[in-house]
């Protein structure tokens, strides 16, 4: 009877938390504090993402580096060896390769680095204090990247040697992306412009301005949030079409089971489409206290386990099992 009561109690607890945001960073934050280390401004976590291929969770703690969990957020271990610092300023700061095992950390007020081999190797970037960026994941060594600095007047930089050297391609930008070293795209708020000469010259290719700060590419197709719907390009940014119906999102897409399965973050909560934006469903509200804007909140999605993750500067990190 006691065993039956225990099992019933456990079932009740599981049912109570199913579909609710559950904190996962408390243990890490307590350990850092007990070790006598200071958590940087504004406190708590400063970024999160998920390797969609294996469910590994990567979480940034302000001024305390990158932590990894391979058991869905139950336990974390710091893995960066001091090569990651600061915090994530935006939800586009951590860019995970959709094919898994590689990630670029575009950090502000701390060191930035490229992670490979699921965190076994880190290649530090010579340039940091970066708000967000994108990487050409089609390259075996992921050498080409584009990055953005808002405190430098929207200045954009490009590297072709995995962050060893960077070249400025101008100021006044708001959103950026790339498909490869010869196909850069960007926006200054009036549509999309494209460069095929490393950023020396730009040609307008769309009148629709992106809302998403950074382009996300999967299987060679570019995806960019806009107020009119998801902007999609299958020819390295030369032309753009709107896929599906509009959704007022500020972060994403986070790819699910395939390139047509998207999660995006909006004021009304996380939204999901499994048909390339044709229809949308509200999955859940944002965690309590999380702002609905480009500065702060980060999200991740594990499509195999069907778990959502969230972190935000100054707040705990959470997961939501669906």
- Encode pLDDT of 221-237 as tens digits: 999 999 999 999 999 99
pLDDT, one tens digit per residue, over 39-89 is 999 999 999 999 999 999 999 999 999 999 999 999 999 999 999 999 999
For 158-188, the pLDDT digits (tens) are 999 999 999 999 999 999 999 999 999 999 9
Which pLDDT score, from 0 to 100, does residue 18 have? 55
Q: Give the pTM.
A: 0.92
What pLDDT shows up at residue 213? 97
Q: How far apart are CA 71 and CA 142, in angstroms?
A: 27
pLDDT at 6 over 70: no
List of domains in the chain: 25-225+308-313 (2.120.10)
* pLDDT tens per residue across span 248-305: 999 999 999 999 999 999 999 999 999 999 999 999 999 999 999 999 999 999 999 9
Q: In whole numbers, what is the pLDDT of the chain averaged over residues?
A: 93
Residues 6+ apart with CB under 8 A from 256: 52, 262, 263, 272, 274, 301, 303
From residue 141, how far is each of 148, 163, 168 by CA, in Å?
Answer: 21, 12, 22
Class of residue 12 by CB neighbours under 10 A (exposed 0-12, middle 13-18, buried 19+): exposed
Which pLDDT belongs to residue 13?
38
Predicted local distance difference test score (pLDDT) of residue 19: 86
Q: Smallest Cα–Cα separation from 265: which of 249, 280, 277?
A: 249
Q: Is the pLDDT of residue 104 over 60?
A: yes
pLDDT, average across residues 15-22: 69
What's the whole-number mean pLDDT along residues 3-23?
53
Q: What is the mean pLDDT of residues 208-217?
A: 97
Whether the ω angle into residue 253 lies within 30 degrees of 0, i.e. cis, is yes
Reduced 3-state DSSP string for 243-287: ECCCCCEEEEEEECCCCCCEEEEECCEEEEECCCCCCCEEEECCC
């Amino acid at each position: 009877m006691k065993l039956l009561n225990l099992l019933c109690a456990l079932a009740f607890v599981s049912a109570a938390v199913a579909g609710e945001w559950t904190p996962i960073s408390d243990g890490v934050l307590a350990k850092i504090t007990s070790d006598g280390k200071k958590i940087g401004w504004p406190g708590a976590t400063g970024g999160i993402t998920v390797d969609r291929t294996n469910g590994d969770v990567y979480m940034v703690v302000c001024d305390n580096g990158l932590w990894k969990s391979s058991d869905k957020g139950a336990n974390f271990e710091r893995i960066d060896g001091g090569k990651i610092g600061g915090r994530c300023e935006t939800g586009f700061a951590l860019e995970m390769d959709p094919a898994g095992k590689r990630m670029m950390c575009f950090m502000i007020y701390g060191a930035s680095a490229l992670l490979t081999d699921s965190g076994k190797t880190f290649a530090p970037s010579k340039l940091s204090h970066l708000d967000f960026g994108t990487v050409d994941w089609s390259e075996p060594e992921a050498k080409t990247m584009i990055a953005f600095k808002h405190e430098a007047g929207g200045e954009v930089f490009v590297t072709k040697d995995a962050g060893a050297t960077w070249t400025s391609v101008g100021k006044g930008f708001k959103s950026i992306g790339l498909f490869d070293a010869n196909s850069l795209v960007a926006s200054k708020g009036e549509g999309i412009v494209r460069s095929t000469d490393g950023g020396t010259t730009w040609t307008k290719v769309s009148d629709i301005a992106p809302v998403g700060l950074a382009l996300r590419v999967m299987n060679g197709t570019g995806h960019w949030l806009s107020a009119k719907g998801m902007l999609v390009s299958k020819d390295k940014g030369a032309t753009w079409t709107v896929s599906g119906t509009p959704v007022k999102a500020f972060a994403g897409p986070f790819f699910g089971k395939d390139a047509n399965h998207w999660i995006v973050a909006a004021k009304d909560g996380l939204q999901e489409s499994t048909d390339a934006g044709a229809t949308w469903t509200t999955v859940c509200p944002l965690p309590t206290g999380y702002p609905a804007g480009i500065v702060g909140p980060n999200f991740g999605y594990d499509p195999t386990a069907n778990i959502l993750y969230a972190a935000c500067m100054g707040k705990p990190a959470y997961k939501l099992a669906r």
